[in-house]
Amino acid sequence: MRKLLVTLLVVVGLVAAAPASTATVSVSITKAGFSPKSAMIVQGDTVTWTNADTANHQVASDKGLGSSAVLKPGETFSVTFPAAGDFPYHDGLNPKLKGTVRVKAAPTPPASISMAASASKVIYGRTLRLSGAISTQKDGERVTIFARPFGENAFAELASVTTGAGGAWSYTARPTIQTTYQARWKNASSSEPTIGVRPAVTLHVLTRGRFSTRAVAARSFAGKIVNFQRRNRFGEWVTLKRVTLGPTSGAVFKPRLPHGTSPIRVFLSVNQAGAGYLAGISRTVIYSRA
């Protein structure tokens, strides 16, 4: 009796842990036997036997799944079947009454792969992290990274990485212009994050009230115009001078600044940066003029 009680407790635990998407199939126990005599379920489903007779019955497995306690009229017994196969059983109080649970393998979910980017935009020359996981959570699987730079019509293979623990993967990308990324594994493709790129704009303080600036990206900015700006007491950036960049995408200039402390920067608008680039902004420099 103690063995039967332990078995029943294990079965109840299995039922409680079953995923919400599983199904439960009912089998009635009558004087004539089990109805239905052959229950068809899918791996992970549960079978519940109900004693619909006026006499006692007992569900006894022929394949090592254990047995129920003696079921009085109206009592039930449930088992969740985690594996596929045929599982014959009989009535422990009347061995002539027999039944079978036929368990089909659960359908294999379609392969899938996820992707996320650590940032939605980067400054030219800097990196970001692409990462994700595959649906099987297996390590040692090959994931291929593809990229489609601005102006291109199709993805091109960029690199391959191998999944680690839990099927996780990662890759360090360095986009040079707005780029859309995709990861592929087997016949599955990830989402396609697009990463914006800002030109790298510098600002340096020289001597005699002069400054230098340069805009760097995958294209030349020669002839483009940058705005030398000062932040006023209201927090607004006001353009003090428009500077045309020279052949090396740089320039030296001497603006007029008020006496005292000035937060200053150089700003390259998105129109001047051109297609495929975001606006470029230099670091803010705190400049003091006596």
Kindly list the distances between the CA atom of residue 129 and the CA atoms of 122, 183, 224, in Å, as whole numbers in the listed order: 11, 13, 31
- 16 pLDDT higher than 90: no
18: pLDDT strictly greater than 50 = no
Report the alpha-carbon distance of residue 29 to residue 54 in Å, rounded. 10
H or E element: which one contains 15? Answer: helix 2-17
Which residue, 148, 171, 197, sits at the end of a domain? 197
What does the buried/exposed string (b/e) look like for 223-256 if buried means 16 or more CB atoms within 10 Å of the residue's CB?
ebebbbbbeeeeeebeeebebebeeebbbebebe
CB of 88 within 8 A of CB of 112?
no
Residue 7 and residue 95 share a domain = yes
> Using alpha carbons only, how large is the chain's radius of gyration in Å?
35
In this structure, the answer to whether residues 242 and 170 fall within a common structural domain is no
Mean pLDDT, rounded, for 16-21: 42
Mean pLDDT in residue range 32-40: 96
Residue at 24 is within a domain = yes
pLDDT at 207: 95
In a domain, 167, yes or no: yes
260 pLDDT exceeds 50? yes
User: Per-residue confidence at 14, pLDDT binned at 50, 70, 90?
Assistant: very low
- How would residue 96 be classed by pLDDT, with cut points 50, 70 and 90? very high
For 130, the token pair is 């692409």
Q: Is the pLDDT of residue 288 over 60?
A: yes
% of the chain exceeding 90 in pLDDT? 88
CATH of the domain at 272: 2.60.40
Evaluate whether residue 111 is within a structural domain: no
- Say yes or no: 96 and 122 in one domain: no
In a domain, 49, yes or no: yes
Residue 17 falls inside a structural domain:
yes
Residues 214 and 143 in one domain: no
Domain match, 192 and 234 both: no
d(CA 226, CA 201): 9
Mean pLDDT score, 162-166:
97
How many distinct structural domains can be found in the chain?
3
Closest CA to 173 of 195, 142, 141, 199: 195
**What is the DSSP code string of 145-162?**
EEEEETT-SS-EEEEEEE
Q: Which amino acid is at 232?
A: N
**Do residues 167 and 135 make contact, with C-beta atoms less than 8 angstroms apart?**
yes
Residues 161 and 229 in one domain: no
pLDDT at position 21 over 80: no
Identify whether 110 is part of a domain.
no
The answer on 97 and 17 residing in a single domain is yes
Per the structure, the complete domain to which residue 125 belongs is given by 116-197
Q: Is 69 a domain residue?
A: yes
Q: Which of 163, 182, 197 is the last residue of a domain?
A: 197
Pair (68, 28) in one structural domain? yes
Q: What is the pLDDT of residues 212-257, one digit of tens each?
A: 999 999 999 999 999 999 999 999 999 999 999 999 999 999 999 9
109 lies in some domain: no
Burial zone of 138 (CB within 10 Å; 0-12 exposed, 13-18 middle, 19+ buried): exposed
- 33, pLDDT greater than 70: yes
State whether the Cα torsion 72-73-74-79 is positive or negative.
Answer: positive
Please identify, among 142, 165, 197, the residue that sits at the C-terminal boundary of a domain.
197
| The pLDDT value given to residue 78 | 95
CA angle 212, 210, 267 (to 5 degrees): 45
**Overall average pLDDT of the 24-32 stretch:** 96
CATH code for the domain in which residue 86 is found: 2.60.40.420
113 DSSP 8-state letter: B
